Structure 1
Amino acid sequence: MPADVSMPAPAQQGIESYELHGRCLKVQTDDGLGVAGVFWPAQEPCARVAADLLQRLRCHQAVPAEGIDFLELGAGCGALACSFAKEPALKRVIASDLPDVVPLMTENSRLNGAEIECVPLPFGDLPALEQLTLGPARVVVACEVLYWGGWNIFEDDTREPLAETLAAALAAPLAAAVLAAVIRDPPREMQALEMLKEKGVQSFQQMPASGAPKVGELGIWLLQRHGAQLLEELGLLVHSPS
C-alpha cells in the first residue's frame, strides 16, 4: 500500500530515520513545536516534483554559472531542505520558518552534515525575504503549509501572508515554486490558490493527474508569476493553470 501522506509522523522527542529524495536522513522531532516539529510524509512526493523542476532548470541557458538558490518556506524540521543540501546545481539551500522553529532545523542540519542556511522567515515578512538576497534562478518549496487543525479559531489565517511571500519570492526571471498540501478542508485550501492568483501567481496542478484533489488526497502545484514563460520553457506545463 502507498504511504499515507495525509498525516505527519507521530510527534515525539527523539531522532528517527527517514528516506527522502534518495537520502537517508536522521530527523530530530520536537512535539513541543506541534505540527512544525514533525516529519510530514508529503515531503517525499513534494521532493520528487522539486527535484524534477531543479534538474530542468539547471539546463536552462539563462541560469548563471554560480547556480540556483533553493528556498523552503515553512520548513519545520528542515528534512526536505537537508535532502537537497548536496545537489551540485544549487548555490544555496535555505530552510525558513518561525523563529521558534529555527533551532530544530539547525539541529537537523547538524545531524546530517547538511550545509544549509536556517533562517527565521514568518509568512508575510517581506523585508526578511529581501534580506536573503536570492539570486535570479530560484526553486521555492512550500510543503504542507496550508495545514489547519482547527486548534485555535483565534489564530491568524496564514494563507494571505503566505501568498504574499510566495509572490515576492517568485519575482525573479528564473523562479518557480512547488506547493504541496494534503486536502483537509477543500474550500479553504482551494481559496489559497485564488489568493495566489490575486497576487499575480499562476498555479499548475501536477497531482492528481486529473480533477481537483479530494479530501485526504495530496495536491501538488507548480507556481510561477503571471505572464512568466519559465515553466513552458522547461516543458512542465502539462495541465491548465488554476
Structure 2
Amino acid sequence: MKKVVITGAGSGIGMATSIACVSAGFYVIAADSDRLGLKTLQAQLPVHRLETHLVDLSGTQLSQGFISDLYATHKHRTLHALVNNVGAQTGQGRAAYSEQDIAALHEVNFTSLMNLSSDFARQEPDAPHTRSIVNINAASDGAGEEAFYHATGARMIDLTRANAWSFGPRVRVNAVSSLKTPDAFAAKHSVENSLGQPAYAHERQRLATDPFQPGAVADAVMFLLSEHSHPLTGKVIVAGNATHPF
C-alpha cells in the first residue's frame, strides 16, 4: 500500500485530498495543528488507512525533521508521496504588515515547504520507484491584502521548478494552484474594503459558481500522484476558471 504524507489535512483542500487518497488506495499520514480537524478526519476514514500527527509545521526545527522522524520514530520504511498543503495569511492590507507578520508568513508559506520537501527528497536514495511531491497554493485574485500572500505563492512555484530539477529523476515535484472557495472568501470581510462593493459583489458571485471546490482541487492532486502523470515534473496545474497571476 502506497503511503502519502499530507500537511494541513485537518480542513479544506487537505482534508478533501486525504479522503480522496484513501479512496484511491493510499495509506494517509495526516499532519495538522488543528486537533479538532484531525478528529473530524479520523471520524470519516478507516483507522487502518489513516495516521494522524498533531504538529505545527510552521517552526523551522519541526519542519526540518518531521519526515525523518516518520522513518526513525514511527518506523515507516517507504513514503511514496508528500502533499505540501500548509499555508497562512493575515487578512490585512500590505501596509498593515509588521516585520513579524512578514517573517511568520514566509516561515509558514515558504520555509516550511522547503524544509519538508528537502527532508522528503533525501530519504530512500535507493528506492526502486519514483516518489512524488505535490505543492498546493490556495490562491485568490491577487487584489489588496493578498499581494504578499501571492509573493510567497510565486516563490513556491519557483521552488517547485527548482526542486523538480534538483530532486529528479527519482522524485517528481509538481504544484496545484487553486482559487479560494466561496466560504473562505466570504470569511475575509476586509476584502470588501479593498475591492469596493461592486467588485466584491462580482467576485463573490463568481466564486459562488466556481466549480473548483476542495474536492476538485484534490482531483488535480490525485492526478499528479497517479501513474498517469509519470512524465510530468516541474509543472503547475491551475485549478480555476479565471485569469491567474501565475
TM-score, L = length of structure 1? 0.47
Structure of higher CA gyration radius: 2
Q: Which has the higher strand share?
A: 1
Q: Which has the higher helix share?
A: 2
